[in-house]
Chain A
Amino acid sequence: MIRRAALLAAAAMLAPLPLAAQDAAPAPATTATPLPSAHGYQPQDELERGLWYEMAEQERLLRQSHFLVDDPALNAYVRGVLCRTVGAERCAATRLYLVRTPFFNASMAPNGAMIVNTGLLLRMRDEAQLAAVLGHEFTHFEQQHSLRLFRNMRTKTDILSIFSLAPIPYAAGMVGQIAILSSVFGFNREMEREADAGSIAELARAGYDPTAASTIWQQLGDEMDATAAERRHRSRRNSNGGLFATHPRTTERMETLAALATQAAASAGAAERRAAEYRSNLHAWWPQLIDDQVRLADFGGTEYLLSTLAGPEPDGWTADLLYARGELYRDRGREGDFASAATFYRQAIDQGGGPEESWRGYGLALLRQGHAAEGRAALRTYLQLKPQAHDAAMLGAMAAEPVT
């Protein structure tokens, strides 16, 4: 979020609408004007042209960002899910950017540029959840929420500026100003609710399980609790942020989405989750995603996140997740953590199908415990499996038998 904030700070006013913190207007557009998702759509007025122009500049910078994930396979997969969710024709109006940022968020600009953080990919359990997020962002785009938000803010700040001059009693003036200011944020929350509702409709139409959307907020809320408990401060889960919250509170979103999903499920046919497809498409990126997450030094939140992804069943702990847990414990390195880490890596290796990096972590954890010979052997196994590893030279030195 911070990095994205920096990236787009220059266009703060035009910042794309992010998923986890923001915005809808009264009823969806009812006029006969074309939707932005229509083929060949062009901005309809001076303001929209201006916003598109500005966003095109920002997009230009984004394309050259070092945080952009340029792996064609991962891009093709996420784009494929978007197109499956909203249909090929509407999908053609968007451009998707995957940004390497270890936080849960996605955003949508008025000109069709969609940004998805890698931290979001880590947190999705299946393809249906990813589709729910993409459908939510797409609704922001199609319903022109950025444009409507800008107009709304323009009108209200105009009124505020008059207020600041009007000779009215100070207290009354303050109350009026706060009312208008908070109505900007209220408008924002309305648009978020509209996008949430839109995502359910898209899921049902595409044959994804519409209940996927509410489980995302359940997971996110629980993760916030876990992080807060670890850091000994109040969870932000149930805070509604008061008058100036940009998004509806998490618990409310969850309940509303669940209710909408129940209605949608009644009429929908197929309700796929596609968890296996999701995991296999993320496989190559898994060690990287875990590495970025572990570096946040949020042990409680990460531990919770991993156990959520594993689910209640013992066999939910896949090799990918066991590897991740090993990385987490090895990174913390408190009393007993290296032993726990070595156990998790060993389980990942025995189960098979996880990242080869399990051998690397296993070896390093054993070395830290003082099991020198086994540790060196594990590192050598890793180097046989991955001779091109970026840290092969260093690991090679560590794996060599000492000269006697």
Chain B
Amino acid sequence: MKRWMTAAMAAMLALGMAAPAHAQFGAGEASAVREDFVLPQGEVRILVFRPEIRVGAQTMGGMHEPNAEWTETAKGNIMAALEAEQAARGTSLVIVPELDGEQGELVADYTALFQTVAGEAFQHKLFPGNRLPSKRHDFDWTLGAETEQLRALGGDYGLFLVTNDSYGSTGRKVLQVLGAVAGVGLVPSGVHMGYAGLVDLRTGHLVWLNGDLQMGGDVRTAEGAQKRVAQLLEEFPLRATGQPAPERAREVTVTGETPAEPKP
């Protein structure tokens, strides 16, 4: 027990000070769509699972200091931007509510499963370094067909989002400049990573996954969150035949309540 704690703390110190995620995976972004997958024509209802959004400051020494106010603001901004973005695509979003009991556990289990599977896909296919030969050609990860149970929540697809922001503090930025002046190389300032995925709940297949380890857009502002959401949804699956979206009012509903008023 002592060893674990010691190792963990040493690792935290080391990681915080040196290695942002892109040092592990290489830089940049990656996305994939399951072969031949397109969203059907007509109405598409997408369940939005509780996004995991973390916003804080990066201290001078590189630690992540969580910030409650920024995180709350970012959650509101990102959800608003997401609704606008999906409305433009002609899909209806259904926000998965906070659930108790068995349904709550089911949602928690699938959220965790998605994150695990998405992590595997990133590690073994999308980012260079650990690519598996057996996954070279196919993007065929799945959560299993029992995701069918989740359709009772009111959607045929599940959308999962994760963003993690650590904004460089003044001290960190000063250190960055000093590092450049002293010629010791680049001191990274700030961590901005995020990913999103879509699961077809009829089959459990992960049909689209997109991640970026150096995301743009300051999620603490409405405009920044729009930019962030646009980046998160890059390469989002198209509609069948690529026809323009049907012309009708979009709605966002929360299951368990009466549908919200259609947006003007």
A residues apposed to B, CB below 8 Å:
1-2, 5, 12-15, 18, 20-22, 46-47, 49-54, 61, 64, 66, 103-105, 150, 153-154, 156-162, 164-165, 167, 181, 184-185, 188, 236, 239, 241, 244-247
**Besides A21-B1, A161-B175, 9 other A-B contacts (C-beta < 8 A):** A18-B1, A50-B68, A53-B68, A61-B108, A154-B59, A154-B63, A157-B17, A157-B63, A245-B2
CB pairs A–B below 8 angstroms (24 shown): A2-B4, A13-B63, A14-B66, A21-B1, A49-B67, A50-B67, A66-B105, A104-B1, A150-B63, A150-B65, A154-B63, A157-B13, A157-B17, A157-B62, A159-B61, A161-B187, A165-B175, A165-B182, A181-B10, A184-B13, A244-B6, A245-B2, A246-B2, A247-B2
With most chain B CB atoms within 10 A of its CB, the pick from A5, A49, A157, A239 is A157
Given contacts A49-B69, A153-B63, A165-B184, contact A241 B2 (CB under 8 A): yes
Give chain B residues whose Cβ lies under 8 Å from the Cβ of A12.
Answer: 8, 11-12
Give chain A residues whose Cβ lies under 8 Å from the Cβ of B2.
Answer: 20-21, 236, 239, 241, 245-247
Distance in Å from the Cβ of B214 to the closest Cβ of chain A? 20
Given contacts A46-B67, A154-B65, A157-B17, contact A185 B8 (CB under 8 A): no
Within 8 A of A (CB), among B61-80: 61-69, 71-72
Kindly state whether residue B20 has any CB partner on chain A within 8 Å.
Answer: no
Cβ proximity bits B1-31 to A, threshold 8 Å, 1 near / 0 not:
1111110111111001100000000000000
Kindly state whether residue B240 has any CB partner on chain A within 8 Å.
Answer: no
Closest A residue to B182 by beta carbon equals A165
Distance in Å from the Cβ of A276 to the closest Cβ of chain B? 30
Kindly state whether residue B179 has any CB partner on chain A within 8 Å.
Answer: yes
B residues apposed to A, CB below 8 Å:
1-6, 8-13, 16-17, 54, 56, 59-69, 71-72, 104-105, 108, 171, 175, 178-179, 182, 184, 187
> Tally of A-B residue pairs with Cβ under 8 A?
120
Closest A residue to B98 by beta carbon equals A60
Closest A residue to B107 by beta carbon equals A64
Pairwise interchain contact A13-B104, C-beta atoms closer than 8 A: no
- A1 to B3 alpha-carbon distance, docked (Å): 11
Give chain B residues whose Cβ lies under 8 Å from the Cβ of A2.
Answer: 4
Distance in Å from the Cβ of B16 to the closest Cβ of chain A? 7
Closest A residue to B56 by beta carbon equals A50
Pairwise interchain contact B62-A161, C-beta atoms closer than 8 A: yes
Pairwise interchain contact B12-A21, C-beta atoms closer than 8 A: no
- A188 to B2 alpha-carbon distance, docked (Å): 12
Given contacts A5-B4, A21-B1, A46-B67, contact A158 B12 (CB under 8 A): no
Pairwise interchain contact A49-B68, C-beta atoms closer than 8 A: yes
Give chain B residues whose Cβ lies under 8 Å from the Cβ of A5.
Answer: 4, 8
Give chain B residues whose Cβ lies under 8 Å from the Cβ of A50.
Answer: 56, 65-68
- A167 to B182 alpha-carbon distance, docked (Å): 8
Specify which of A18, A64, A241 is in contact with B104 (CB 8 Å cutoff). Answer: A64
Q: Which 6 pairs from chain A and chain B are nearest by CB?
A: A157-B61, A53-B68, A50-B66, A21-B5, A64-B108, A158-B60
Pairwise interchain contact A165-B179, C-beta atoms closer than 8 A: yes
Pairwise interchain contact A161-B1, C-beta atoms closer than 8 A: no
Give chain A residues whose Cβ lies under 8 Å from the Cβ of B65.
Answer: 47, 50, 150, 154
- A311 to B14 alpha-carbon distance, docked (Å): 45
- A158 to B60 alpha-carbon distance, docked (Å): 5
Closest A residue to B171 by beta carbon equals A158
Give chain B residues whose Cβ lies under 8 Å from the Cβ of A159.
Answer: 61
- A47 to B65 alpha-carbon distance, docked (Å): 7
- A165 to B4 alpha-carbon distance, docked (Å): 30
- A52 to B65 alpha-carbon distance, docked (Å): 12
Specify which of A64, A161, A241 is in contact with B17 (CB 8 Å cutoff). Answer: A161
Give chain B residues whose Cβ lies under 8 Å from the Cβ of A247.
Answer: 2, 5
Distance in Å from the Cβ of B182 to the closest Cβ of chain A? 5
Distance in Å from the Cβ of A67 to the closest Cβ of chain B? 12
Distance in Å from the Cβ of A158 to the closest Cβ of chain B? 4
Give chain A residues whose Cβ lies under 8 Å from the Cβ of B1.
Answer: 1, 18, 20-21, 103-105
Closest A residue to B66 by beta carbon equals A50
Give chain A residues whose Cβ lies under 8 Å from the Cβ of B67.
Answer: 46, 49-50, 53
Distance in Å from the Cβ of B7 to the closest Cβ of chain A? 9
Pairwise interchain contact B105-A64, C-beta atoms closer than 8 A: yes
- A51 to B66 alpha-carbon distance, docked (Å): 6
Pairwise interchain contact B59-A157, C-beta atoms closer than 8 A: yes
- A61 to B8 alpha-carbon distance, docked (Å): 21
Pairwise interchain contact B68-A162, C-beta atoms closer than 8 A: no
Give chain A residues whose Cβ lies under 8 Å from the Cβ of B64.
Answer: 13
Pairwise interchain contact A161-B108, C-beta atoms closer than 8 A: no
Closest B residue to A236 by beta carbon equals B2
Given contacts A18-B1, A103-B1, A105-B1, contact A160 B105 (CB under 8 A): no
- A52 to B60 alpha-carbon distance, docked (Å): 22
Give chain A residues whose Cβ lies under 8 Å from the Cβ of B17.
Answer: 157, 160-161, 164
Give chain A residues whose Cβ lies under 8 Å from the Cβ of B54.
Answer: 54
- A153 to B10 alpha-carbon distance, docked (Å): 11
Give chain B residues whose Cβ lies under 8 Å from the Cβ of A103.
Answer: 1
- A88 to B87 alpha-carbon distance, docked (Å): 52
Distance in Å from the Cβ of A31 to the closest Cβ of chain B? 22
Distance in Å from the Cβ of A281 to the closest Cβ of chain B? 26
Pairwise interchain contact B61-A160, C-beta atoms closer than 8 A: yes
- A244 to B7 alpha-carbon distance, docked (Å): 9
With most chain B CB atoms within 10 A of its CB, the pick from A61, A154, A161, A188 is A161
Given contacts A13-B64, A157-B63, contact A181 B13 (CB under 8 A): yes
- A185 to B9 alpha-carbon distance, docked (Å): 9
